[in-house]
Amino acid sequence: MTDKHKIGKDGLPDDGVAHYSADAEDMALFDRAHAELDEMLIPVLHASSRDRLYLAAFDGTWNDADLDPEHMTNVGRIREQINALRENGETGIGVGYVNGVGTQSNALVRTLDGALGYTYEERLEEMYSLFSTQAKAWLREDPDVRISIAAVGFSRGAEQAAGFARLLHERGIQDPDGAIVRSDGSGRTTIEYSKPPLVPAGQVAQAVGLFDPVGTGEPRNHDRRLPPSVISGFQITAQDERRGLFKSTSIIDQGMTADGRLLAVMGPGAHSNIGGGYHRNGLSERSGNLMVDFLNSLSGKPYLQKQPEPDDPRLNVVHRSEQGMLLYRLWNKVDRQGPDGVVEELAPRGVCRVVPDCRNAEPMDSQLASRFEFRRNGEALPSAAAARLTTPLDPGHPDHALLRQSQSAVYRLDASLGRRPDEHSERLAAFLLPAAKQAGLRRIDHAVLSQQTATSAQGQYVFAVEGDLDSVMNKWARAETGVAIDTPAADSFRRLERVNREQALEADAQTNQLQPPPEPQSQSQQNQDQQRAMAR
């Protein structure tokens, strides 16, 4: 698909709608979300060679990763990464992808589906067919495998992910070879199964990852309450979406549930600043990385790579989605943080009349959950476990020396400004630590404030510098001064843990790539091995 967006005055595509820069409070939401996710106990669904994990990826309205890769969402990227893993020999993790509503080739059908989302059931059945086919193949290879699923979705795709979780809970894994499709006179189809299920109903452990669920139209006619077999779930909700047609669905309420099973966080930006698809993608990259952290924690070994998080202020913007299509401009506007911007009921009225709670997930199946080990986000990684033993304030911590360098640099900056070090100084020194590590600095020799420019005030940014200030060979890391002095040191230390964890993963991946493949055995060696085996 040809990209028709114009290039803005700053040299980047304008995405077709107005935008404004994300401020310090906006960006701080990501640190808060990471801190909350770090406290969540997450089941390790893919822990051994006999575990199989399937990601059911439902894309958002108008989104098709195959036909429009220029606007690929976070859901499409997750699918793309797992496809690459499969091509490189990964057999324990599978993926199915269903494109978003409103992506048909026929213009009339595309418009109606985009407006109403009437292909909801069709898309659930498409995913179920993909999943059951893969599940049967896994069970054919090894009848003792344990199959789990993580359903991931954006927009109406997030509603489909929740609905799919209920469908799978009620159906179990049916044998796809026994599917019988019937159609009544009205065009409605039903599917029955003539063979015994491969796995009984309610016995497949599930997790869900939801990018800003929106259920306008057909999804609200279906039950999207998370069933008991969903033993973990994470939702990211767009704080700044104003369109009345895009009310947020609280499939998971904000905050963490009392049992720690489900977590919802608020992210800065409009709908696609969370799910992805804009060229100016600084916010959606960060939201995608949050979800990658959650999905990686479902496995004993991380399998998804995070995206670089740009510092370019031209990319870190909130889009004014309500100023897009004429319909959006004319329709009412809502506040996502107020009751008029949120949909609480998760099922149609007929269901809500007979169930005890129509606004929340059903109670978790604790017996099913007991089959799995639960760990905090990233705790499965040895580097993360070691980092949690101390903080950089402790002399035994590997980054203690770097923190002392940061403190000394900040204290010298204080002295140059005629002020004494205080709590703000400590916060600034701590904040520069993960920023420096992320930028590849090995030392912090100086801390300096930015000069006034046409677009920024004097002192708006602070730089950690390695090397001489006047050297062209120095290295530096930049942070917003206001954000740094407002961020508690404990939050910065948690961010440092994440940076260390990510760098350890990258180092491991590079090491694995450099290892030569084992040399093939000669025919004589193979014959000798066979003779020894027969002699046992």
pLDDT digits (tens, 9 = 90+) for 125-160: 999 999 999 999 999 999 999 999 999 999 999 999
Q: Which two tokens stand for residue 331?
A: 């329709």
Residue ranges and CATH numbers for the domains of the chain are 19-376 (3.40.50.1820), 399-504 (no CATH)
pLDDT of residue 379: 64
302 pLDDT above the threshold of 70: yes
User: Among 441, 425, 423, 424, which residue's Cα sits nearest to residue 433?
Assistant: 441
pLDDT tens for each residue of 245-258: 899 999 999 999 99
On the CB side of 405, how many CA atoms lie within 13 Å of its CA? 18
- At 116, which helix (H) or strand (E)? helix 107-116
Inter-residue contact 472 to 534 (CB < 8 Å) = no
Mean pLDDT computed over 394-414: 89
Give every CB contact of residue 342 below 8 A, 6+ residues apart in sequence.
247, 248, 249, 250, 336
Average pLDDT over residues 255-264: 95
The backbone torsions φ and ψ at residue 281, rounded to the nearest 5 degrees and listed phi first, read -115, 25
- Rounded Cα–Cα distance for residues 297 and 303 (Å): 9
> What's the pLDDT band for 533 if we cut at 50, 70, 90?
very low
Strands (E), 84-169: 93-98, 146-154
pLDDT digits over 102-119, tens only? Answer: 999 999 999 999 999 999
Three-class SS of residue 386?
helix
Residue 527: its pLDDT value, please?
47
By the 10 Å C-beta count (0-12 exposed, 13-18 middle, 19+ buried), 342 is classed as middle
The Cα–Cα gap between 12 and 278 comes to: 11
Contact between 26 and 268 (Cβ < 8 Å): yes
CA distance 450 to 535: 76
Pairing type for strands 189-193 and 255-256 reads unpaired
Compute the average pLDDT of residues 375-395: 60
Given pLDDT bands bounded at 50, 70 and 90, which one contains residue 384? very low
Beta bridge partners of 319: 19
Mean of the pLDDT values across residues 229-243? 97
Whether the pLDDT of residue 120 is over 70: the answer is yes
Specify the pLDDT at position 381: 43
CA separation for the pair 169, 166 (Å, rounded)? 5
Residue at token pair 């770097």 = 402
Alpha carbons within 13 angstroms on the beta-carbon side of residue 410 total: 24
Measured distance between the N- and C-terminal CA atoms of the chain, rounded to whole angstroms: 63
Place of tokens 């929106």: 214
- How many Cβ atoms are within 10 Å of 141's Cβ, its own excluded? 10
Asked if 298 contacts 53 with a C-beta cutoff of 8 angstroms, the reply is: yes
Q: Which of 30-39, 52-61, 81-90, 485-494 has the lowest mean pLDDT?
A: 485-494
314 vs 519, which has greater pLDDT? 314
Please write the tens of the pLDDT for every residue from 155-214. Answer: 999 999 999 999 999 999 999 999 998 887 776 788 999 999 999 999 999 999 999 999
- Arithmetic mean of pLDDT, 293-308: 94
| pLDDT above 50 for 440 | yes
Crossing angle for the helix pair 24-38 and 489-514, nearest 10 degrees? 70
What's the CA gap between 435 and 233, in Å, rounded? 30
SS3 sequence of 519-533: CCCCHHHHHHHHHHH
User: Which residue carries 């193979």 as its tokens?
Assistant: 526
Residue 389 has pLDDT above 60, yes or no: no
Q: What is the pTM of this model?
A: 0.73
Q: Which letter does DSSP use for residue 223 in this model?
A: -
Rounded average pLDDT over 361-387: 75
Is the separation of the CB atoms in 64 and 79 below 8 Å? no
Strands 248-249, 342-343: pairing kind: parallel
Q: Measured between alpha carbons, how far is 172 from 166 in angstroms, rounded to an integer?
A: 10
What is the predicted pLDDT for the residue at 536?
39
Looking at residue 325, its pLDDT comes to 76
Give the range among 93-97, 210-214, 234-238, 364-368 with minimum mean pLDDT.
364-368
Residue for token pair 């939702």: 235
Q: Could you tell me what percent of the chain has a pLDDT over 70?
A: 92
How far apart, in whole angstroms, are the C-alpha atoms of residue 289 and residue 330? 34
| Res. 519: pLDDT tops 60 | no
pLDDT of residue 7: 87
Q: What is the pLDDT of residue 524?
A: 46
